[in-house]
Amino acid sequence: MNPAIPNWSGKRVWVIGASTGIGAETARLLLAKGARVALSARRKPELDVIAAGNPAAMTITVDIVDEATILAACDTILAQWQAIDLVLVVAGGYNEMRADQFDLAVANDLLDLNVRGVFNCLSAVLPVLLRQGSGGIGIVGSVAGYSGLPKALIYGATKAAIINLCESLYLDLRPRGIGVYLINPGFVATPLTSQNDFKMPALMSAADAGAALVDGLEKGDFHIHFPKRFTNVLRFARLLPYRWYFALIHKVTGL
């Protein structure tokens, strides 16, 4: 559904959320494959460790909830590269929440990070990609966005918004020569998931998740999801009648 990427040599990739987890491992892999990578996150020391003096890497501190930092970073990248071949928005947050624990301040913080932060990134990069008439953008959602799940009262809603957003972006941008990638991981061992107090089916390492993400990009997939033995089960479950779906989730989770 997108053009394949058979060779990363010289590709200019901006990874937003590259300090830890999937973003960090994806950035490392792309550098190893010969891409030029701009690594962005709030914490520069972690970015510098990943860049490790590699001349193909640059590090730029941003906070995606602050549009000004994203716009400034985009200007810096264009000043050095003149164009951007791919933007990956990996930054995001996670909080467990159920209805009897609802906290509006926490909910708003998560909305700022997972939804409004993505819009801030779009504000910076969409004009660049449209002006170029080439390149692509990938946004990390989550399988929690497929359908409602216990403990994901706000997180799941933010990721459902990302899924809908990417679908709309594809319809608008692909005819203009711009690739769009919806990236939905399952459970990945990262600082975000370390707080979970329940068994995480098909838990995978961040390195394996980064490899699966890059593999999907190389194939030109629109919907990049992993590990498929888990994500495909949830994709099927959302097609069930609600009576069956709710009963299944209750039985599996005990919640």
Range of the domain at 58: 12-253
In the chain, how many domains are there? Answer: 1
- DSSP structural state of residue 90: -
- Find the mean pLDDT for residues 244-250: 94
**Residue 200 confidence (pLDDT) above 80:** no
In a domain, 33, yes or no: yes
- Find the mean pLDDT for residues 169-177: 98
CATH number of the domain residue 212 falls in = 3.40.50.720
Confidence (pTM): 0.94
End-to-end CA distance of the chain: 38
Q: Residues with catalytic annotation?
A: 155
> Measured between alpha carbons, how far is 146 from 156 in angstroms, rounded to an integer?
8
- Find the mean pLDDT for residues 2-31: 96
In a domain, 69, yes or no: yes
Report the C-alpha dihedral over residues 173, 12, 122, 105, rounded to 10 degrees: 140
> Measured between alpha carbons, how far is 92 from 70 in angstroms, rounded to an integer?
15
pLDDT of res. 148:
95
Give φ, ψ of 40 to 5 degrees. Answer: -130, 145
Cα 117 off chain centre by = 12
**Residue 231 confidence (pLDDT) above 60:** yes
In a domain, 128, yes or no: yes
- Tell me the pLDDT tens digit for each residue of 109-136: 999 999 999 999 999 999 999 999 999 9
